[in-house]
Chain A
């Protein structure tokens, strides 16, 4: 097991490094620098600024310095736009917000999705199955940017139960709509995956054996069917994670929650290189680490996988 983890890490770490370098090159290739926008600066000032932000050094040196700073000090440098803030500050202010509603959406999507999928599979071809499948199909065409305005229309405009945006330190009224908007489409895909894998497992030989030796239905499902049926779901969680992080861009923009997505869009509009790179690298690394975690969990749970 340990060698397996180490081997995976040996792949993951270079990948993260490559992401850092790639995003650096991508930003470097972009037309228009951070200081080329508003008014023309005197050349001396420009030279000073570029020296301050390392922009006057040759490209490999810039890359080396940048990577070193991130890896060794976990320091993404100063923001190009807001002189008094560092990228770390912005991330520190936005990340807890994103993490809060992201976590709850993840919980909601997984629990309800798995629940719906199992019920649908157990009551195969009953009205419950059709209801669950219908919900799953409908949910898959309701991405966050469709759900968000619909929820606001229902809960804010018509019913006037919930505030239409804001965060206020994460009180529950402000969390509900972001969570539902973000969770719906992933809930749907998790339900679909759970249902089909549960159906497959229920039709397999070892379940028939378990039933044949007279085990009560509940034991058959909980002890024998659930574990193998949930393995494909586990793999799909990695994808949901990425989707939710990406979805935070819409959520933050629409509900003005002030999470990491908002900083990203603002930075993108302002050509704030260091913030863009910082957020991209952070999200990319988190994705890789999360997938690593899923893979390790998978290998740990599934005895058929040899590592």
Chain B
């Protein structure tokens, strides 16, 4: 019998192909996320804001610390937003270009948000996973500590830290990082408690894997979905905390600035009719935070479709 080699090969190809390509949980989630219009809009807007904070300085003739002496004699009229003199967002009451100031503030606020949540994610995940995995007395002690720290209003502690150890960006990171992991650790502990009962953890224990390795290799990857969602929702919280502190004048100090500090400066010139000095930073603040919330909500729906 003559074997039609070509046909056989075709059949083999077909067989290989028709093997149903399973969609992983992550691929499913990505699909759901991409179809979520609000989340995608949020992502686009956020990308634009980030691009603006990186590329913005290139199209401005002004630097964030230069003072435009020409507008100083009458800032309320000459300092208006205009394309002609290059102050796209106007100037602040000291004659500095607001566009450049907003870019600078955006950079710092975004950085605080990202680094703050990073600290929260790393510390909170490890702490919660260890407490949940070890259980018993250690768990009780670790969680009691979290309860106590949570009972102290965080903002008060943050203000105290800033006052005691000097107002600097580093102190903001430390302060916000110190406070923000608490909720995270609670959530992760709860997840770990239920994961602990699963067979694959039992198998790992039975084969003699060390506890710390079990936590980092088996538990942490399995709570990653929740971590991602929670981290996205944490970023706006961090930005808000920093802005809160800077609004009070206790956070980022001149010549550096952030959205909170800019909003604070903007409130002081309201009665002189310089609304733009308030509204531009405030607009950036609101729009960016909104997009973070939409992305976070979209991620949650995508990764955990049961929970609405």
Contact A253 B160 (CB under 8 A): no
A15 adjacent to chain B (CB < 8 Å): yes
Expressed in whole angstroms, the minimum distance between the Cβ of B300 and any Cβ of chain A is 11
A152 adjacent to chain B (CB < 8 Å): yes
* One of B160, B282, B290 near A138 (C-beta < 8 A): B290
* One of A22, A27, A140 near B152 (C-beta < 8 A): A22
Expressed in whole angstroms, the minimum distance between the Cβ of A195 and any Cβ of chain B is 10
Query: Count of A-B contacts with CB under 8 A?
Result: 107
Q: In whole angstroms, how far apart are the Cα atoms of A269 and B162 in the complex?
A: 10
Residues of A within 8 A of B286 (CB): 141-142, 146
Q: In whole angstroms, how far apart are the Cα atoms of A196 and B294 in the complex?
A: 16
Interface-centre pick from A164, A245, A268, A283 (highest chain B CB count, 10 A) = A268
By beta carbon, the residue of chain A nearest B292 is A141
Contact A153 B270 (CB under 8 A): yes
Mask: chain A, 233-262; 1 = CB below 8 Å from B; 0 = not:
000000000100110011001100000000
Contact A279 B156 (CB under 8 A): yes
A99 adjacent to chain B (CB < 8 Å): no
Interface residue ranges of A169-205 to B (CB < 8 Å): 196, 199
Q: Contacts A145-B260, A246-B156 given: A268-B271 contact, CB under 8 Å? A: no
* One of A18, A22, A157, A199 near B308 (C-beta < 8 A): A199
Expressed in whole angstroms, the minimum distance between the Cβ of B161 and any Cβ of chain A is 9
Contact A264 B240 (CB under 8 A): no
Residues of B within 8 A of A164 (CB): 271
Contact B156 A280 (CB under 8 A): yes
Interface residue ranges of B239-254 to A (CB < 8 Å): 240, 243-244, 247-248, 250
B46 adjacent to chain A (CB < 8 Å): no
Expressed in whole angstroms, the minimum distance between the Cβ of B140 and any Cβ of chain A is 11
* One of A141, A150, A199, A276 near B160 (C-beta < 8 A): A276
By beta carbon, the residue of chain B nearest A286 is B153
Contact B153 A15 (CB under 8 A): no
Expressed in whole angstroms, the minimum distance between the Cβ of A297 and any Cβ of chain B is 18
By beta carbon, the residue of chain B nearest A153 is B270
Interface residue ranges of B258-300 to A (CB < 8 Å): 260, 263-264, 266-267, 270-271, 275, 278, 282, 285-286, 289-290, 293-294
B148 adjacent to chain A (CB < 8 Å): yes
Mask: chain A, 1-33; 1 = CB below 8 Å from B; 0 = not:
000000000000001001100110011011100
B163 adjacent to chain A (CB < 8 Å): yes
B236 adjacent to chain A (CB < 8 Å): yes
A166 adjacent to chain B (CB < 8 Å): no
Interface residue ranges of A280-301 to B (CB < 8 Å): 280, 283-284, 287-288, 291
Expressed in whole angstroms, the minimum distance between the Cβ of B190 and any Cβ of chain A is 15
Contact A19 B152 (CB under 8 A): yes
* One of B154, B244, B282, B293 near A137 (C-beta < 8 A): B293
B202 adjacent to chain A (CB < 8 Å): no
Contact A280 B152 (CB under 8 A): yes
A77 adjacent to chain B (CB < 8 Å): no
Interface size on A, residues (CB 8 A): 47
Q: Contacts A19-B151, A145-B244 given: A30-B236 contact, CB under 8 Å? A: no
Contact A265 B248 (CB under 8 A): yes
Q: In whole angstroms, how far apart are the Cα atoms of A276 and B151 in the complex?
A: 16
Q: Contacts A143-B244, A249-B248 given: A19-B267 contact, CB under 8 Å? A: no
B67 adjacent to chain A (CB < 8 Å): no
Contact B151 A249 (CB under 8 A): no
A271 adjacent to chain B (CB < 8 Å): yes
Interface-centre pick from A15, A23, A146 (highest chain B CB count, 10 A) = A146
Q: In whole angstroms, how far apart are the Cα atoms of A254 and B153 in the complex?
A: 20
Contact B293 A140 (CB under 8 A): yes
Contact B164 A31 (CB under 8 A): yes
* One of A137, A140, A264 near B156 (C-beta < 8 A): A264
Contact A15 B308 (CB under 8 A): no
Q: Contacts A137-B290, A141-B293, A196-B308 given: A146-B282 contact, CB under 8 Å? A: yes
Contact B282 A150 (CB under 8 A): yes
Residues of A within 8 A of B148 (CB): 15, 18-19, 22
* One of B247, B275, B308 near A153 (C-beta < 8 A): B275
Contact A249 B160 (CB under 8 A): no
Contact A145 B164 (CB under 8 A): no
Residues of A within 8 A of B65 (CB): none
Residues of B within 8 A of A29 (CB): 164
Interface-centre pick from B163, B236, B260, B286 (highest chain A CB count, 10 A) = B163
B147 adjacent to chain A (CB < 8 Å): yes
B159 adjacent to chain A (CB < 8 Å): yes
* One of A157, A199, A283 near B153 (C-beta < 8 A): A283
Interface residue ranges of A72-94 to B (CB < 8 Å): none
Contact B270 A149 (CB under 8 A): yes
Mask: chain B, 142-154; 1 = CB below 8 Å from A; 0 = not:
0000011001111
Residues of A within 8 A of B275 (CB): 153, 157
B69 adjacent to chain A (CB < 8 Å): no
A-B contact pairs, 28 of them (CB 8 A): A19-B152, A22-B148, A26-B164, A27-B160, A137-B293, A137-B294, A138-B290, A141-B286, A143-B243, A145-B260, A145-B263, A146-B263, A146-B285, A146-B286, A149-B267, A149-B270, A249-B155, A250-B248, A265-B248, A268-B159, A268-B160, A268-B250, A271-B163, A280-B153, A280-B156, A283-B156, A287-B151, A287-B153
Q: Which A residues are within 8 Å of any B CB, using their own CB?
A: 15, 18-19, 22-23, 26-27, 29-31, 137-138, 140-143, 145-146, 148-150, 152-153, 157, 164, 196, 199, 242, 245-246, 249-250, 253-254, 264-265, 268-269, 271, 276, 279-280, 283-284, 287-288, 291
